[in-house]
Copies of this chain bind each other. A is one copy, B any other.
Amino acid sequence: MYKVKVYVTLRESVLDPQGSAVKNALHSMNYKEVEDVRIGKYMELLIEKSDRELNTVVKEMCEKLLANTVIEDYRYEVEEVVAQ
């Protein structure tokens, strides 16, 4: 069994209104030291071993569903876990 951690973030060139809103809120709470906030998605997938190559499967899932590759980048990390 694998635990795959996927990080999906908006591309640098893409405006992040949600991030700006959080930044303004933090400033209004007197956290003026916050210069920038970027918000993305963090996903943990538990994946059973199969005959298909894990990296291929993960890339396909990211590019077909988990990330919108027009405006988002994704990266992932794989951990082997003991099935519970």
- A-to-B contact residues, CB < 8 Å: 1, 7-9, 19, 22, 25-26, 29, 31-50, 52, 57, 60-61, 64-66
Contacts and interface: CB of A to CB of B under 8 A. Distances in A.
A3 to B, nearest CB: 9
15 contacts: A7-B42, A8-B42, A9-B42, A22-B66, A26-B61, A33-B48, A33-B50, A33-B52, A34-B48, A35-B46, A37-B46, A38-B44, A39-B43, A41-B41, A42-B42
Contact of A64 (B29, B36, B44, B49): B29
Contact of A37 (B9, B25, B45, B60): B45
Given A35-B46, A37-B43, A39-B43, 15 more contacts: A9-B42, A19-B43, A22-B43, A26-B61, A29-B64, A31-B61, A32-B50, A33-B48, A34-B61, A36-B46, A37-B44, A37-B45, A39-B41, A39-B42, A40-B41
